[in-house]
């Protein structure tokens, strides 16, 4: 096993590689970590490594960071010729990651999950470069589970993760959330989205890729929302957006808007009175930090039904409402409209969900990263 000599001296800035992606649930925590590093060390050099064709290749540059893409993809669950290329792509990606490490000479590597983190972490740990994993969910991702014994530290958002990872490497930090997500200004948000300050606002987010159940239920509810005087910010995801845009167009004059992707989530949260959301780890962390009354609709298409577990953790603290994916077509907008008409209940849910936030999570992860670098 070779060792890559660290570049760092007392006069040189830190150099860190952050790898992973695929969905916003991986990308935005990665950007939050990068932002905290930059806040502490303005001259830090950060390089992201993602997977070609995935959303990190556009979202990371939009956040102001350089990214390099690897030609990597996951195994398909069904039998397909693409799986025959998987070993070749892994080999090529590990080789390219190794070259990136030799050229960039990082002091540490962070993996946030997703296909692209595997080659980078494999290459880094084979060179004795300090490596840290950040696991967002209550059910660990495949890449993180496979690489857990090779890395130095594993930062998690939920207790009980020793069933997936070596207990001695675990640090319970919570999920990193971009600081600015809770700093949006309502007046600016009303102007930004073109909304009426006198009427309630419902925000619907189905994750960065969209959610079919939420989109279908929202499309069906447009007449009810208009009749109730409710304004809508509806993040649809790329696939459903053309249809949703046409469906919402007839109601746009009353403040109902379909959006492919919400770039300014800080403003969306600032203006929303109630949020309908999936229960992914990042979404839950953002809702806790922003203190938003919410109706959670867990995705049924995730490992070990972990989104329902995420949602139950809030419901058990009277911090959110839950509607199952199967019940959403009939119950979702009944619950959301009822909550919009109950300001006292909104305040109660808001107070309870704020208590579950981990505003220090990003700082705690960077603390662990600093420790790894200083020990090297």
- Better-scored residue on pLDDT, 179 or 278: 278
What is the share, in percent, of the chain residues with pLDDT greater than 90? 74
Could you read off the pLDDT of 247-262 as tens digits, one per residue?
999 998 889 999 999 9
**CATH class of the region 180-354:** alpha beta
Q: What is the pLDDT of residue 9?
A: 47
What whole-number distance in Å separates Cα of residue 144 and Cα of residue 364?
A: 19
C-beta separation of 174 from 288 below 8 A: no
- Better-scored residue on pLDDT, 186 or 25: 186
What's the rounded mean pLDDT across residues 324-333?
Answer: 97
What whole-number distance in Å separates Cα of residue 117 and Cα of residue 133?
A: 9
Whether 15-175+359-375 shares its CATH topology with 180-354 is answered: yes
User: How would you classify the pairing of strands 231-235 and 201-205?
Assistant: parallel
Could you read off the pLDDT of 265-294 as tens digits, one per residue?
999 999 999 999 999 988 999 999 999 999
C-beta separation of 227 from 251 below 8 A: no
Q: Is 25 annotated as a binding residue?
A: yes
Q: Is 136 annotated as a binding residue?
A: no
Q: Is 281 annotated as a binding residue?
A: yes
Helices (H), 194-327: 212-228, 241-249, 265-271, 281-290, 306-315
Domain 15-175+359-375 falls in which CATH fold?
A: Rossmann fold (3.40.50)
Look up the pTM and report it.
0.82
Q: Is 178 annotated as a binding residue?
A: yes
Q: Is 322 annotated as a binding residue?
A: no
**CA distances in angstroms from 71 to 49, 88, 202, 249, listed in the order given:** 11, 10, 39, 39
What's the rounded mean pLDDT across residues 198-209?
Answer: 89
Q: Is 299 annotated as a binding residue?
A: no
Q: Please check the confidence at residue 237 and state whether its pLDDT lies above 70.
A: yes
CA angle 123, 127, 132 (to 5 degrees): 70
Q: Sorting pLDDT into bands at 50, 70 and 90, what band is 114?
A: confident
Could you read off the pLDDT of 341-371 as tens digits, one per residue?
999 999 999 999 999 999 999 999 999 999 9
Q: Is 277 annotated as a binding residue?
A: no
Tokens at 323, concatenated: 């509607």
Question: What residue ranges do the domains of the chain occupy?
Answer: 15-175+359-375, 180-354
Q: Is 285 annotated as a binding residue?
A: yes
What whole-number distance in Å separates Cα of residue 315 and Cα of residue 309?
A: 10
Q: Is 259 annotated as a binding residue?
A: no
Token pair 């309502």 in the structure block, residue: 186
DSSP string, 34-63: HHHHHHH-TT-EEEEEEETTSTHHHHHHHT
The SS3 call for residue 177 is coil
Range among 24-33, 76-85, 287-296 rated most confident? 287-296
Q: Is 253 annotated as a binding residue?
A: no
Q: Is 286 annotated as a binding residue?
A: yes
Q: Is 256 annotated as a binding residue?
A: no
Q: Is 282 annotated as a binding residue?
A: yes
């Amino acid at each position: 096993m070779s060792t890559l000599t660290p570049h760092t001296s007392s006069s040189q800035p830190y150099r860190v590689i952050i790898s992973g992606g695929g969905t916003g649930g991986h990308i935005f925590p990665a950007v939050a970590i990068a932002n905290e590093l930059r806040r502490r060390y303005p001259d830090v050099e950060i390089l992201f490594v993602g997977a070609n064709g995935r959303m990190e290749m556009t979202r990371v540059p939009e956040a102001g960071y350089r990214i390099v893409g690897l030609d990597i993809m996951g195994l398909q669950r069904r039998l397909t010729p693409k799986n025959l290329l998987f070993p070749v792509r892994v080999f090529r990606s590990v080789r390219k990651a190794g070259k990136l490490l030799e050229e960039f000479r990082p002091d540490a590597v962070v993996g946030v999950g997703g296909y692209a983190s595997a080659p980078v972490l494999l290459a880094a740990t084979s060179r004795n470069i300090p490596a840290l994993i950040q696991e967002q969910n209550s059910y660990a991702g495949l890449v993180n589970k496979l690489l857990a014994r090779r890395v130095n530290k594993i930062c998690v958002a939920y207790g009980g993760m020793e069933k997936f990872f070596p207990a001695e490497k675990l640090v319970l930090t919570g999920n990193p959330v971009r600081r600015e997500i809770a700093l949006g200004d309502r007046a600016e948000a009303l102007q930004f989205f073109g909304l009426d300050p006198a009427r309630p606002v419902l925000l619907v987010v189905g994750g960065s890729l969209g959610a079919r159940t939420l989109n279908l239920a929202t499309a069906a509810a447009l007449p009810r929302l208009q009749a109730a005087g409710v304004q809508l910010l509806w993040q649809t995801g790329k696939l459903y957006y053309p249809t949703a845009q046409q469906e919402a167009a007839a109601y746009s004059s009353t403040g109902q808007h379909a959006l492919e992707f919400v770039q300014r989530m800080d403003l969306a949260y600032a203006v929303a009175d109630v949020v309908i959301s999936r229960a992914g780890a990042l979404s839950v962390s953002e809702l806790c930090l922003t203190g938003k009354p919410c109706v959670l609709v867990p995705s049924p298409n995730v490992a070990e039904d972990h989104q329902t577990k995420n949602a139950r953790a809030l419901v058990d603290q009277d911090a959110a409402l839950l509607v199952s994916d199967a019940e959403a077509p009939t119950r979702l907008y009944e619950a959301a409209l009822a909550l919009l008409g109950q300001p006292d209940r909104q305040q109660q849910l808001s107070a309870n969900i704020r208590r579950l936030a981990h505003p220090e999570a990003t700082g705690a992860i960077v603390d662990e990263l600093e420790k790894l670098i200083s020990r090297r």
